[in-house]
A and B are shown apart, each in its own frame.
Chain A
Amino acid sequence: MRLGQPGLWFIAPALLLLTVFFLLPVTAALLLSFTDFDIYALGDPSTLRWIGLDNYRRLLADSQFWTALANTCYFVLVGGPLSVAASLAAALLVNHRLARWRGLFRSALFVPVVTTLVAVAVVWRYLYHPRFGVFNHMLALAGIGPVDWLGDPRWAMPSIILMAVWKNFGFNMIVFVAGLQAVPRRLYEAAAIDGAGARRQFLHVTLPALAPTFVFVTVITMIGHFQLFAEPYVMTQGGPANSTLSLGLLMFREGFRWWNVGYASAIAFVLFALIAAASWLQLRLRQP
């Protein structure tokens, strides 16, 4: 064990596994996206042909792809910020100096994070029930007519966003709480001496100190949101009228239902490029 560099032996198994079962497949996905790999090639690889950018050209002409892209962006751009805002609000409340039973509240707010999505989707489908659901019952109490939450193309995506916010906000809340607790107390004391009230302390001390946490949280949240899959798969099967069809769901259908592996790989790569570009943009914007 003393021979050579023991560190290399320690990382070798992990690195080998990562290379074979993750990095290699990612590279292969790019290559596959330039082929016509389909169900025939699955049985007989010799039918495989190199078709250059044809899959991408087909994508541009595929209205389903544009719908899925728009829906995914809707989920990322509306659901993501809502989720982060809910997390920040919850963190500020839990961390508030007047808050009592902090540990208890923190745990309660975190519970949805550890739940299994498919199981909670079952409950939420019922909360959204057009006739007997709790949401429509509350609307009725307020004198508002029922909404077909998951059956109306206008409401299906907002419904999925609401459930996703409920399920995920606790995760970022904990990260924000950690960020809040890392703000040195003397900054608040100095601001108070300078006559800053609670609002100005929040704007000029808390928010700037949270900036690094904020970058971390938004990037992580965005990457997660781009991969929307299980929610529409279980709740709406991408409907109604494709209003909740996401890129992840479209890739799954094309690749694993119809075995258009080449075409599905192109979709996967568009997703990859989008996430890479958006992550890069966020990191650039926040670090002038």
Chain B
Amino acid sequence: MIRWSQVAVNGALAVLAGAALFPLLWMVSVSLMPANAALHLPPPLLPERVTLEHYRTLFTQLELARYLGNSTLLAGAVTVLSLVFNTLAGYAFAKLRFAGREPLFRGLLAAMAIPGQVAMLPLFLLLKQLGLINGYGGVIVPGMVGIFGIFLVRQYALSIPDSLLEAARIDGAGELRIFGSLVLPLLSPILVTLAIFTFLGAWSDFMWPLIVLADSDRHTLPVALANLLGEHALDTELMMAGSVLTLLPVLVLFLALQRYYVEGLVLGSVKE
């Protein structure tokens, strides 16, 4: 009996994992096939002949390197800047006393339920006034802070013992110094988590870069890929190669640092 249920549980898991990974593995396989080789019955699982021609086309004719650079630059800038502002605020909400702290924090939590799409039209008009539309700033500036990030850092910072901070204050250290030399090292695990979260989110973001970056020179990978799909929908293998290149950086990042990512997800979901 026990053996059978063990087979059933692990078999079901294997099927699920297969379903989760199949589209991605197949994408890699098709991206290595010669043009039009994928459109056959039955659908071929592996390339009969491996070719890198689509990757070559993407880099030489379709300026993929530029989009890769744009995506890296934007996601990197958003990650670094938002990490600074979110960490300062998250720590303060957890450990520093100031007037209105609790109501402000509750207000932020409630604001987390406001869909980002509601803000987009006025935000566009505002950024247009500031001359940030159609430039990298239009994506970076609104991404410089995030309520979820503040919340995540606060949850983690709550565990820092007050006695430690008090001792530093008695020694005459200023708040900024305490933050820099005492708090930041203690927060480093959650900062790694938040950095991965933010980078992955910014990398995959589609709607806002689509709206703000009109000039194709500034497009991010997802926006460029969506445009490419409009022009090259029939070049299946080429599109797959573009998808592989879009996914590769984030998948590598996730697999290398997944321990932090999953832990952060659990922390972020813990109820107050």
Contact = CB atoms under 8 A, between A and B. Distances in A.
B61 to A, nearest CB: 18
Interface string B118-137: 11111111100000000000
Interface in A88-121: 90, 93-94, 96, 98-101, 105-112, 114-120
Interface in B214-272: 221-223, 225-226, 229, 233, 236, 239-240, 242-244, 246-247, 250-251, 254-255, 258, 261-262, 265-266, 269-271
A11 B43 contact: no
Nearest to A104: B17
A190 interface: no
Contact of A118 (B6, B91, B108, B222): B222
B17 A13 contact: no
A8 B98 contact: yes
Interface in B15-67: 16-17, 19-21, 23-24, 26-27, 30, 38-43
A251 interface: yes
B20 A14 contact: no
Contact of B242 (A122, A132, A133, A166): A122
B160 interface: no
Contact of A13 (B13, B41, B85, B223): B85
Contacts of A21: 119, 123, 126, 141-142, 144-145
Given A117-B204, A256-B124, A90 B16 contact: yes
A132 B43 contact: yes
Contacts of B200: 114
Contacts of A234: 206, 226, 229
Interface residues of A, number: 92
A100 B222 CA distance: 36
B73 interface: no
B191 to A, nearest CB: 15
Contacts of B43: 132-134, 137
Nearest to B269: A175
B10 A100 contact: yes
Interface in A3-46: 5-8, 10-11, 13-15, 17-18, 20-26, 28-29, 32, 42
B88 A227 contact: no
B6 A98 contact: yes
A114 B250 CA distance: 7
A279 B9 CA distance: 35
Contact of A275 (B16, B42, B115, B269): B115
Interface in A112-155: 112, 114-120, 122-127, 129, 131-134, 137
B175 interface: yes
Nearest to B172: A2
A17 B85 contact: yes
B245 to A, nearest CB: 9
Given A116-B204, A279-B113, A26 B119 contact: yes
A178 B266 contact: yes
A255 B121 contact: yes
A216 interface: yes
A171 B175 CA distance: 37
Interface stretch (A54-62, A73-81, A261-269): A261-269
Nearest to A177: B266
Given A15-B89, A42-B125, A170-B20, 16 more contacts: A11-B98, A15-B104, A18-B108, A21-B126, A21-B141, A23-B111, A111-B254, A115-B247, A119-B222, A120-B243, A123-B243, A124-B23, A132-B39, A132-B40, A268-B121, A272-B118
29 contacts: A1-B175, A2-B174, A10-B175, A14-B88, A17-B85, A18-B111, A21-B142, A21-B145, A25-B118, A25-B120, A93-B12, A98-B2, A98-B10, A105-B16, A111-B20, A111-B24, A112-B20, A112-B24, A116-B221, A122-B225, A126-B236, A127-B23, A133-B43, A166-B20, A219-B113, A265-B121, A275-B113, A275-B115, A279-B113
